């Protein structure tokens, strides 16, 4: 009898699976024992969960899990920062217009970032620093003067500095300047730095247009001019005409300096050189006006006035009206073309030249023809003077380097020259 007063069903009425009624059971090797009525009414027992092992509660495990979690968080934050940084790295910059910025030598990555911020090229220095480090370009940053385009991105800024795309400058040294005049030009250039120890020897610098960057010194520029002149001189001397009446490269420079100062038009260089070479071969004095000027003022280059007759007759080591042969050294720094002309002059027998009134010269083989050229020049000058307005006519210029050849030895005299500016080529 149960506690409720209802009888239990008889055991025979309960369905019991046995070996005869369950085909699956017949295949099982286990025998299921019947439960008693009381056992059937009791709830099934559930295993209690096992407590965490002591190993799981070990401090090292706890710390390790914390570190792993922190690493994951850092990695996520780094990924987000990387994506955001890349967007900022490639975004247009704050620069409103093109700007030239000078990055001094010895500047570190933070110094460069500060300069760029101060000049308004960038406004996110840490993104600049991070971008340089990510690109592994820290050691490739170069000092110099750079031009950054308007709204240049940080990537463009870094590329410009890493590739060293510095702003180029140029210095043009005209042909025919003395070394003292060239030094004065170098000192006037405020892009160059440093001083010049001494004036280079005359004729050792090559006139040309030189490209350079901010920071180069004046002494370095002098050295470049020297090296350029030495290369050109060696190349030209190696293929000079074999019948030249000169024996050394230094004499070639001296002859070329006379050609440089006497040439009115570039195409006349070889003919002017030929006149000097022909006169040297015939032992005639060169009588070149620029040698008078150099003998009087040296490296200063110009008199600032016409040559006087007394100065023509004044003996100096350079005055080729008074000395035989070439002067003792160059009177200027000749360019490539004049060196080439002196080394390979035209094949003529001309001994005289005089200005033709149009910037060039009239050449002659004989003294008689030369005198006709002189008369023609004077007629041109007179005609030009008569045609000039009265308020622009100038007073007659003083006598210039025009000496009438001696009647007894006309072939030994230099070409008569007449020009209103004796300090230019005649």
Measured CA distances, 369 to 235, 297, 416 (Å): 37, 34, 12
Q: How many residues does the chain have?
A: 426
In terms of DSSP H, where are the helices of 170-306? 179-188, 218-237, 249-262, 269-281, 289-297
pLDDT tens string 332-383 = 999 999 999 999 999 999 999 999 888 899 999 999 999 999 999 998 888 8
Distance CA 200, CA 224 (A): 12
pLDDT at site 325: 97
In terms of DSSP H, where are the helices of 97-190? 109-118, 125-134, 154-162, 179-188
Residue 352 β-bridge partners: 364
Burial class (CB in 10 A: 0-12, 13-18, 19+), 339: buried
Distance CA 287, CA 12 (A): 156
Percent of the chain with pLDDT over 90: 65
Cβ contacts of 176 within 8 Å, gap of 6 or more: 207, 257, 260, 261, 332, 333, 334, 335
Distance CA 342, CA 246 (A): 10
Query: Is 405's pLDDT higher than 50?
Result: no
- Mean pLDDT in residue range 167-183: 96
Query: Which residue, 228, 313, 326, is CA-closest to 285?
Result: 326
Distance CA 232, CA 236 (A): 6
Asked if 175 and 207 touch (Cβ cutoff 8 Å), the reply is: yes
Query: Is 256's pLDDT higher than 80?
Result: yes
Query: Which residue, 386, 360, 356, 390, is CA-closest to 373?
Result: 356
Q: Please work out, in degrees rounded to the nearest 5, the angle formed at the alpha carbon of residue 174 by the alpha carbons of 173 and 176.
A: 120
pLDDT at site 318: 97
Token pair 């699956």: residue: 24
Greater confidence, 37 or 148?
148
Q: Can you say whether residue 133 is alpha, beta or left, with left for phi > 0 and alpha for psi between -120 and 50 degrees?
A: alpha
Residue 61 pLDDT level (bands cut at 50, 70, 90):
confident
Asked if 215 and 105 touch (Cβ cutoff 8 Å), the reply is: yes
pLDDT tens string 228-238 = 999 999 999 99
pTM: 0.71
In terms of DSSP H, where are the helices of 243-395? 249-262, 269-281, 289-297, 309-312, 336-343, 367-387
Q: Nearest 10 degrees: CA dihedral of 414, 420, 421, 426? A: -30
Query: Is 85's pLDDT higher than 80?
Result: no
Query: Is 9's pLDDT higher than 80?
Result: no
Sign for the CA dihedral angle at 392, 395, 400, 406 comes to positive
Instruction: Please give the structure tokens belonging to residue 284.
Output: 């005639």
Query: Is 295's pLDDT higher than 50?
Result: yes
Count Cα neighbours of 39 within 13 Å in the Cβ-side half-sphere. Answer: 4
Query: Is 426's pLDDT higher than 70?
Result: no
pLDDT at site 354: 92
The alpha carbon of residue 31 and the mean position of all alpha carbons in its chain are separated, in whole angstroms, by 100
Q: Could you write out the DSSP letters of every residue in 84-105?
A: HHHHHHHS--S--S-EEEEE-T
Asked if 322 and 251 touch (Cβ cutoff 8 Å), the reply is: no
Percent of the chain with pLDDT over 70: 74
Token pair 């280079």: residue: 200
pLDDT tens string 28-54 = 455 556 666 666 666 666 666 666 565
> How does 138-148 read in b/e, with b if 16+ C-beta sit within 10 Å?
eeebbbbbbeb
Residue 392 pLDDT level (bands cut at 50, 70, 90):
very low
Cβ contacts of 400 within 8 Å, gap of 6 or more: 306, 307, 417, 418, 419, 422
Query: Which residue, 407, 403, 404, 414, is CA-closest to 312?
Result: 403
Distance CA 354, CA 373 (A): 7
Q: Please work out, in degrees rounded to the nearest 5, the angle formed at the alpha carbon of residue 131 by the alpha carbons of 128 and 137.
A: 105
- Mean pLDDT in residue range 384-391: 61
The 3-state DSSP class for residue 208 equals coil
Query: Is 407's pLDDT higher than 50?
Result: no
Instruction: Please give the structure tokens belonging to residue 315.
Output: 């003996």
């Amino acid at each position: 009898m149960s506690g409720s007063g209802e009888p239990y069903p008889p055991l025979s009425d309960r369905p019991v699976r046995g070996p005869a009624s369950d085909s699956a059971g017949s295949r099982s090797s286990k025998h299921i024992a019947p439960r008693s009525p009381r056992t059937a009414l009791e709830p099934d027992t559930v295993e209690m969960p096992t407590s965490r092992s002591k190993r799981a509660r070990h401090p090292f495990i706890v710390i390790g899990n914390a570190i792993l979690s922190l690493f994951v968080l850092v990695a996520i934050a780094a990924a987000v920062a990387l994506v955001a940084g890349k967007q900022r790295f490639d975004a247009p910059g704050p620069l409103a217009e093109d700007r030239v910025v000078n990055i001094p030598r010895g500047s570190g990555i933070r110094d460069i970032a500060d300069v760029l911020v101060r000049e308004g090229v960038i406004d996110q220095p840490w993104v600049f620093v991070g971008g340089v480090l990510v690109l592994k370009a820290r050691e490739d940053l170069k000092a110099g003067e750079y031009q950054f385009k308007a709204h240049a991105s940080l990537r463009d800024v870094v590329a410009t500095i890493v590739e060293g795309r510095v702003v180029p400058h140029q210095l043009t040294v005209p042909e025919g300047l003395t070394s003292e005049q060239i030094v004065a030009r170098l000192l006037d250039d405020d892009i160059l730095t440093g001083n010049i120890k001494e004036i280079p020897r005359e004729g050792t610098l090559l006139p040309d247009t030189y490209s350079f960057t901010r920071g180069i010194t004046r002494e370095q520029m002098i050295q470049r001019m020297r090296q350029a002149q030495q290369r050109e001189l060696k190349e030209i001397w190696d293929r000079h005409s074999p019948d030249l009446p000169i024996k050394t490269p230094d004499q070639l420079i001296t002859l070329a300096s006379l050609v440089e100062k006497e040439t009115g038009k570039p195409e006349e260089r070889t003919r002017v050189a030929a006149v000097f070479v022909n006169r040297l071969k015939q032992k005639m004095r060169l009588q070149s006006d620029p040698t008078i000027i150099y003998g009087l003022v040296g490296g200063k280059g110009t008199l600032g006035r016409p040559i006087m007759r007394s100065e023509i007759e004044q003996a100096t080591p350079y005055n080729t009206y008074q000395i035989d042969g070439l002067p003792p050294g160059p009177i200027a720094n000749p360019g490539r073309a004049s060196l080439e002309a002196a080394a390979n002059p035209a094949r003529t027998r001309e001994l005289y030249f005089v200005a033709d009134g149009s910037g060039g010269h009239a050449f002659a083989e004989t003294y008689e023809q030369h005198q006709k050229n002189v008369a023609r020049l004077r007629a041109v000058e007179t005609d030009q003077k008569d045609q000039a307005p009265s308020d622009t006519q100038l007073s007659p210029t003083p006598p210039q380097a025009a000496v009438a050849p001696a009647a007894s030895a006309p072939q030994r005299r230099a070409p008569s020259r007449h020009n209103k500016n004796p300090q230019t080529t005649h």
